[in-house]
Amino acid sequence: MAELGFIGLGIMGAPMAGHLRAAGHRVHVWARRKSAAELEAAGFLPCSSARSVAERADCIVLMVSNTPDVESVLFATDGVAAGLSAGKLVIDMSSISPLATRQFAERIAARGADYLDAPVSGGEAGAKAATLTIMVGGKPEVFERARPLLALMGKTITLVGDVGAGQTAKVANQIIVGLTIEAVAEALLFASKAGVDPSRVRTALLGGYAASRILEVHGQRMISGDFAPGFRLELHQKDINLALEGARALRLSLPHTASCAQLMNAATALGWSGFDSSILAQVLETLSKHHISGDGTRAAHDPTP
């Protein structure tokens, strides 16, 4: 039984922290949007600040929304850093900037504490089922210390490299997922407009080199026109923007990632940023005035999902 901390009890974080608690650990939490009574009822130990969480726990897990949130939780007055002492461990499981991650890790190291970045893939379903893919950056010996805890939340857990490497892998993941969604949308739109049933095309293609989880899952969403998240486009957009910021800083040309960001901007302009990122298909449908599922169940050009 360890003294753990968890900050960020959102859609992902709540079930993840729940798995830690269910394994018998004491989980100290700080959550601005939940009452102490609510947290206690869920089996957590509420604290009055992030600093207080860090004082009580030996290992503090973060699962918040973006780079500024991580910075604030760690380094604000009464933040995690103020409560750290030598030998403690911070694990940031949020999806944030790889470059900022390296700076955060250095500042945490200055307090004598260790740092891992461990962003995840798999969404709410993966968080609930403890089947997340976890991409880790940090020192191998620190990774080994954290592995039993990570194994309570995920299934495929890979040490990718030094601090920041987990975030870099997550960005690479989001590039592939975003661009593959776009690719599947172009392919199904082509087939549908040519008068061929996109559902049969999906089935035929799942047997060959075009096969992917995206064709299987997101392809089906496009065909049935069901764009409920899943993973919201606005969150995916954040990750694609991290890729483009990184590309600029690293002097890299990523033409399709850049174009994907523009199509995501269009989705936002059209009011669809809260839908699953497979809504990209509907941006393409709008450009060509044709629905992938041109079977009469949706209007010929109905911009509302």
Q: In terms of DSSP bridges, do strands 45-46 and 26-30 run parallel, antiparallel, or are they unpaired?
A: parallel
Specify whether 289 is catalytic: no
Residues 6+ apart with CB under 8 A from 163: 101, 102, 105, 115, 116, 117, 137, 138, 139
**Residue from 8, 46, 83, 164 in contact with its own copies (CB under 8 A):** 164
Find how far residue 298's CA is from the centre of its chain.
Answer: 31
229 scored as a contact of its own copies (CB under 8 A): no
Is the bond preceding residue 13 a cis peptide, omega within 30 degrees? Answer: no
- Marked catalytic residue, from 88, 170, 238, 289: 170
CB of residue 227 to its own copies, shortest distance in Å: 16
Tell me if 182 contacts its own copies by CB under 8 A: yes
The CB-of-142 to its own copies minimum distance in angstroms stands at 17
Interface with its own copies in residues 35-94 (CB under 8 A): none
Interface mask toward its own copies for 266-285; x: CB under 8 A? ------------------x-
- 91 by DSSP, 3-state: which? strand
DSSP label of 276: B
Alpha-carbon gap, residue 60 to 3, rounded angstroms: 9
Complex with its own copies: residue 41 or 125, whichever CB lies closer:
125
**Is 243 a binder of its own copies (CB under 8 A)?**
yes
Query: 3-state class of 157 per DSSP?
Result: strand
Window 98-127: residues binding its own copies (CB under 8 A): 98, 121-122
257 contacts its own copies (rule: CB under 8 A): yes
Which token pair is 153?
Answer: 């939340």
CB of 157 to its own copies, least distance (A): 9
193 sits near its own copies (criterion: CB under 8 A): yes
User: Annotated active-site positions, please?
Assistant: 170
